[in-house]
């Protein structure tokens, strides 16, 4: 049986590896010649790591992961610690460490695991269709390919989604811009074994350790969408947003490399529950586009890949039946996490300033239990337990 996957991001490659392991002949078409993810790094929470373990990539991802043993929230303005705690109880409860990793390295790991024989870069799929039991992908040069199954892992601006839904859903601007990149670890920024988050004024600055002595940083700043900021102005723009903030934040702004800093206007899409049409299925951001506020978009894509492969392997009534079961198992969980991320986004970024002030007060009384409960509840409900 042959599957065509559109898109070689985290979702498409994970699905390719998962399906190949269960005997499928898989071809992936990827639009770009070099896959450059929108962010510098990604936190693969324990549910995502479990999926990579399941795909046989446990040792590799552990090598890429930073040691995130503790977490601290710091008052961004005065630099005082609001709460600091160990992640050990979280790891013990869910049974797996989380790994913040470089995106480029994660992408490379997945590409190497899939191999390049059936991965076609620089090939854009323009149209998908189904005729009887055959799916047909048309590429930009007019050529076609056929298979028994097609997976749209083509991201937030998916063309396969437009086919499945019959319309393109609107992306909703979440109200903030995320600036992210990597800097060398330095004790005058934050401890190297800790996820450190500075909060204040509905803004946020985060430092997460990844492998090889690097921090993944991001700044979240409120603002209108559609603004163009030249790279030369990145540092001054951040300085203006964080004027009066504590010393480590000023040092971080001085340490960033604007040429390698990504500026992303954050969007999501209202959850929808139709992910499948006949033998064509959506997976990853094409099926559920979330804000990054709980760090679960990529993890959900990996979960989709595992569940899809298991559904196709364990059900024998046919591809369409298995895809229906995949949709039934996944769309509720994904919708839940999209809405949880949206809620955290609003609290973090002061959609209602009083709620954000209340959250800051709560963090000052926090011993880690509630924050870990929140993160654990995102991890629980994953398909691998």
Ligand X SMILES: NC(=O)C1=CN([C@@H]2O[C@H](COP(=O)(O)OP(=O)(O)OC[C@H]3O[C@@H](n4cnc5c(N)ncnc54)[C@H](O)[C@@H]3O)[C@@H](O)[C@H]2O)C=CC1
Ligand Y SMILES: O=c1[nH]c(=O)c2[nH]c(=O)[nH]c2[nH]1
374 contacts ligand X (rule: CB under 6 A):
yes
β-bridge partners, 265: 177
Q: Is the dihedral of CA 295, 86, 376, 352 positive or negative?
A: negative
Sites for ligand X among residues 330-349 (CB under 6 A)? 336, 340, 344
Q: Which CB atom, from 12 or from 295, has the smaller least distance to ligand Y?
A: 295
β-bridge partners, 83: 73
Strand ranges inside the chain, DSSP E: 2-6, 25-30, 41-44, 70-75, 81-86, 99-102, 119-121, 125-131, 134-139, 144-147, 149-152, 172-184, 194-200, 203-210, 214-222, 262-268, 276-277, 280-282
Strand arrangement, sheet containing 194-200: 81-86, 70-75, 194-200, 203-210, 214-222, 172-184, 262-268
Q: Which CB atom, from 246 or from 379, has the smaller least distance to ligand Y?
A: 379
Question: Does residue 21 sit in helix, strand or coil?
Answer: helix
378 contacts ligand X (rule: CB under 6 A):
yes
Q: Which CB atom, from 46 or from 158, has the smaller least distance to ligand Y?
A: 46
* Least Cβ distance, residue 283 to ligand FAD (angstroms): 7
248 binds, among ligand Y, ligand FAD, ligand X, none (CB under 5 to 8 A by kind): none
275 contacts ligand FAD (rule: CB under 6 A):
no
Q: Which CB atom, from 35 or from 371, has the smaller least distance to ligand X?
A: 371
Residues 28/122, Cβ–Cβ less than 8 Å? no
Of the CA atoms within 13 Å of residue 358, those in its CB half-sphere come to 7
Q: Which CB atom, from 162 or from 262, has the smaller least distance to ligand Y?
A: 262
190 contacts ligand FAD (rule: CB under 6 A):
no
Q: Which CB atom, from 239 or from 340, has the smaller least distance to ligand Y?
A: 340
Q: Which residues of this chain interact with ligand Y, rule CB under 6 A?
A: 43, 178, 218, 292-295
338 vs 273: CA distance, rounded Å: 12
75 vs 88: CA distance, rounded Å: 23
Q: From the list 295, 297, 298, 368, which residue makes contact with ligand X (rule: CB under 6 A)?
A: 295
Q: Of 66, 95, 92, 107, nearest to 196 (Cα)?
A: 66
Residue nearest to ligand X (CB): 374
Sites for ligand FAD among residues 250-269 (CB under 6 A)? 264
* Least Cβ distance, residue 195 to ligand X (angstroms): 8
β-bridge partners, 262: 180
Sites for ligand FAD among residues 43-62 (CB under 6 A)? 43, 48
294 contacts ligand X (rule: CB under 6 A):
yes
* Least Cβ distance, residue 23 to ligand Y (angstroms): 34
Q: Of 305, 338, 267, 294, nearest to 44 (Cα)?
A: 294
DSSP state of 258: G
Q: From the list 4, 18, 29, 349, which residue makes contact with ligand FAD (rule: CB under 6 A)?
A: 29
285 binds, among ligand Y, ligand X, ligand FAD, none (CB under 5 to 8 A by kind): ligand FAD
Count the site residues for ligand X by CB under 6 A.
11
Sites for ligand FAD among residues 109-138 (CB under 6 A)? 124-125
Residues 291/342, Cβ–Cβ less than 8 Å? yes
Residues 24/2, Cβ–Cβ less than 8 Å? yes
21 contacts ligand X (rule: CB under 6 A):
no
Only one residue has tokens 């959609």, namely 351
Residues contributing to the site for ligand X (CB under 6 A): 294-295, 336, 340, 344, 370-371, 374-375, 377-378
Residues contributing to the site for ligand FAD (CB under 6 A): 6-12, 29-32, 35, 37-39, 42-43, 48, 124-125, 153-156, 159, 178, 180, 264, 284-285, 292, 295-299, 301
């Amino acid at each position: 049986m042959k599957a065509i996957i559109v898109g070689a991001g985290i979702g498409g490659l994970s699905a390719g590896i998962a399906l190949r392991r269960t005997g499928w002949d898989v071809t992936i078409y990827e639009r770009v010649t070099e896959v450059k993810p929108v962010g510098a790094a990604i936190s693969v929470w324990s549910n995502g790591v479990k999926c990579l373990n399941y795909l046989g990539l446990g040792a590799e991802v552990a090598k890429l992961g930073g040691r995130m043993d503790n977490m601290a929230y710091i008052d961004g303005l005065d630099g005082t610690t609001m709460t600091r705690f160990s992640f050990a109880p979280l790891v013990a409860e869910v049974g797996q460490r989380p790994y913040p990793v470089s995106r480029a390295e994660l992408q490379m790991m997945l590409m190497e695991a899939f191999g390049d024989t059936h991965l076609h870069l620089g090939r854009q799929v323009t149209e998908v269709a189904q005729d009887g039991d055959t799916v047909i992908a048309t590429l930009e040069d007019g050529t076609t390919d056929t298979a028994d199954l097609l997976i749209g892992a083509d991201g937030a601006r998916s063309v396969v989604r437009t086919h499945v839904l019959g319309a393109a859903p609107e992306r909703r601007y979440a109200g903030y811009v995320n600036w992210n990149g990597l800097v060398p670890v330095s004790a005058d920024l934050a401890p190297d074994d800790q996820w450190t988050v500075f909060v204040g004024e509905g803004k946020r600055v985060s430092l997460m350790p990844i492998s090889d002595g690097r921090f993944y940083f991001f700044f979240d700043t409120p603002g209108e969408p559609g603004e163009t900021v030249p790279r030369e102005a990145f540092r001054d723009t951040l300085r203006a947003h964080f004027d009066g903030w504590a010393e480590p934040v000023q040092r971080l702004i001085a340490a960033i490399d604007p040429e390698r800093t990504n500026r992303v206007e954050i969007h999501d899409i209202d959850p929808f529950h139709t992910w499948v049409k006949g033998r064509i299925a959506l997976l990853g951001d094409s099926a559920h586009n979330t804000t990054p506020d709980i760090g679960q978009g990529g993890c959900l894509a990996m979960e989709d890949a595992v569940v899809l492969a298991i559904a196709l392997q364990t059900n024998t009534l046919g591809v369409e039946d298995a895809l229906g079961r995949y949709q039934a198992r996944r769309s509720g969980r994904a919708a839940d996490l999209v809405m949880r991320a949206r809620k955290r986004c609003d609290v973090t970024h002061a959609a209602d300033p009083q709620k954000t002030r209340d959250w800051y007060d709560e963090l000052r009384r926090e011993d880690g239990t509630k924050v870990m409960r929140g993160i654990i509840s995102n991890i629980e409900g994953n398909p691998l337990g």
